[in-house]
Chains A and B, each alone.
Chain A
Amino acid sequence: MQTKTKIYTVSQVNSLVKDVLAAHLPSWLTIKGEITDWKPHQSGHCYFSLKDAESVLPCAMWRSSFSKVKFKPANGLAVLVTGSIDLYVPQGRYKLIADEMIPAGMGALQLAFEQMVRKLEAEGLFAESHKKPIPRYPGRIGILTSESGAALHDIADSVHNRWPCTRLALYPVPVQGPGTAEAIAAAIADVNRRNDRLKLDLLIVGRGGGSLEDLWAFNEEVLARAIFASRIPIISAVGHEVDVTVADLVADARASTPTKAGVVAVPDREEVLSDLRNQERRLSGSMRSRFGLYGEYLRTVLASAVFRNPLLPVRNREQYLDDLCGDLGDAMREVFFQAHKQVQDSYEQVARIEPHRLLGRVTVELNELKGRSLAAVTQALNHKNLQITAQENRLAGLNPRSVLNRGYSITQNLRTGHLVRAVGDVQIDDPLVTELAQEHRIESRVTKIDER
């Protein structure tokens, strides 16, 4: 039996299979599937897989073919790919060498993602107003990722390279597979509950790149709501730059990849040190200029006359005082001089009055007045005497008794007391008295009245 057994080499088997495949498969196949594990290579060739619900088919698209593809293939995209199956002999693996690729509507997961985004956006879970600020200098950062994944070291290194003084705490969680979203959500709730002891300033939730389905947990609603409910700020750091997950949208900040987490989470040590140096320079500079300024003040003050000759103000005041004393003496002398002068003037005025001479003059005047008034009085008297004599003479003529001298007489009725001028003035028996010159008197009585 053994002798009949043909021994093949590995290469022979792979070549055989290659021939069988080429002989029995149509040379061109058009396959419907969803792109997954899309890996464009630097060379321009693309490597990816097509999948459906049950199965995955590895594919490659060479640069020449890929250049004809009009859209940008991405994971989760449903496509129709035309090509041929080929076996790569050195590795014994077959793959579809894709020649053409066209989109075939949207992949199911992609659709689910877009539906979730619309739902949560409508609820306001992505609103900027709900974003918690990322602390400037976080002292403790919690990392929620797989203990074994590369993402842990990518995140830790990116944080520590920028900011080595922060302390990192790993909370191990699964990052793919069933129940992942629930596990991460529970972890977020757990650290929030215990944070009075854990004292985490910030959480980073993430994992490395992978297919849409690998990252799917980060698109699930339960995780999105846990991130939204966290009181500790959360940075998402999921997959590659092009991968945007629901977790990225709801997180307080997003790092495009785990290696970028540090840039979002912490300041750069060199920048902070440079800022510190700057602050130090400003502080010293301000102090120097302040001291310079005060030193200048001091020099100015010291240079002033007061400090050069401290007694100067005293001397100045003494001089002022002396001046005042001199002024006061002058003033007093002036006052005395004026007063003395006034007294002298008054004395001279008084002396000029010469009372004895004044008296003499008044006596002369008085004597003169006396003489004049005496003469006036004498003259007036003389005048009056003359007048009186004249009047006397006239009166003497009028005196009835002067008539008596010429032989006339005056008869008076003694009974009536009236002079008898007519017959009617007397009655029979009336006593009469007749006055004659020389005051001789004759008394008689009426005896007869003759009225002829």
Chain B
Amino acid sequence: MAERKQKDEITKLTFEQAIGQLKEIVTRIEQGQIPLQDSLDQYEKGMALIKHCRDILQKAEKRIEKISKDEPPEPPPEEDPEPLLRG
């Protein structure tokens, strides 16, 4: 349950947040600042963060959206406007 929750939290992270957390974990474990049991948990989290970072890098879509200039105030624009180009 807790693992599942942690996994969900990790997949919500941006690349920058994920790699930031990963480097903190590596530093903590390398410096031996945490007890063994905690370091195991942190190790698993670190591995999950690495996987998440790789997923982000591999799920690249290489697409270009187009920002419409004449955005009407109501209703709000779609989340994902039509992609202009695909690379």
Are A160 and B60 within 8 A (Cβ)?
Answer: yes
- Complex formed: what's the CA distance from A137 to B17 in Å? 10
Q: Which residues of B contact A284 (CB under 8 A)?
A: 43
- A190 — which chain B residues lie within 8 A by C-beta? 69
Q: Which residues of A in the span 346-372 have a Cβ within 8 Å of any Cβ on B?
A: none
Whether A280 lies near B57 (C-beta < 8 A) is no
Query: Does B23 contact A170, Cβ atoms closer than 8 Å?
Result: no
The interface residues of chain A, by DSSP majority, are classed as: helix
Q: Out of A139, A147, A165, A172, name the residue touching B57 (CB < 8 Å).
A: A165
Task: Report A284-301 residues with CB < 8 Å from chain B CB.
Answer: 284, 286-287, 290, 294
**Which residues of B from 26 to 40 have beta carbons under 8 Å from A?**
26, 29-30, 32, 36, 39-40
Residue from B16, B46, B57 within 8 A of A279 (CB atoms): B46
* Residue-wise interface mask of A (153-197) relative to B, using a CB-CB cutoff of 8 A (1 in contact, 0 not): 100110010001101111110000000000000010011001001
- Asked if B26 and A160 sit within 8 Å, CB to CB, the answer is no
Chain A interface bracket (under 10, 10 to 19, 20 to 34, 35 or more): 35 or more
A197–B69 CB distance below 8 A: no
How far apart are A154's CB and chain B's nearest CB, in angstroms? 12
Q: Is the CB of B26 within 8 A of A170?
A: no
Task: Please choose the segment from A244-252, A268-276, A411-419, A443-451 that sits at the chain B interface, where 4 or more of its residues have CB less than 8 A away.
Answer: A268-276
Known: A197-B76, A287-B29, A290-B36. A170 touches B57 (CB 8 A): no
Q: Which chain B residues border A136 with CB–CB below 8 Å?
A: 16
Q: Does A143 lie at the interface of the complex (its beta carbon under 8 Å from any beta carbon of B)?
A: yes
Closest approach, in angstroms, between the C-beta of B24 and any C-beta of chain A? Answer: 11
Task: Write the chain B residue with the least CB distance to A282.
Answer: B26
Total number of B residues with any Cβ neighbor in A under 8 Å: 38
B66: Cβ under 8 A from any A Cβ: yes
- A283 within 8 A of partner (CB): yes
Assuming the A-B contacts A276-B53, A276-B54, A279-B22, are A168 and B63 also in contact, with contact meaning beta carbons closer than 8 angstroms in the complex?
A: yes
Within 8 Å of chain B (Cβ to Cβ): is A209?
no
B77 to chain A, nearest CB (A): 7
Asked whether A286 lies within 8 Å of B29 as measured between CB atoms, the reply is yes
Q: Mark each residue of chain A from 33 to 56: 1 if its CB lies under 8 Å from any CB of chain B, else 0.
A: 000000000000000000000000
- Does A198 have its Cβ within 8 Å of any Cβ on chain B? yes
Chain B nearest CB: distance from A286 CB in Å? 5
The residue in A156, A164, A191, A194 that gathers the most chain B C-beta atoms within 10 A of its C-beta is: A164
What are 29 pairs between A and B in contact, CB < 8 Å? Answer: A136-B16, A137-B15, A137-B16, A139-B15, A142-B67, A152-B64, A152-B85, A156-B64, A164-B57, A167-B61, A167-B65, A168-B64, A169-B64, A169-B65, A169-B67, A170-B66, A170-B84, A172-B66, A197-B77, A272-B53, A273-B54, A279-B22, A279-B26, A283-B43, A283-B46, A287-B40, A290-B29, A290-B36, A290-B39
13 additional A-B pairs beyond A171-B66, A273-B54, beta carbons within 8 Å, are: A135-B16, A136-B16, A160-B62, A169-B65, A169-B66, A170-B65, A171-B67, A187-B69, A279-B50, A280-B50, A283-B26, A283-B29, A290-B29
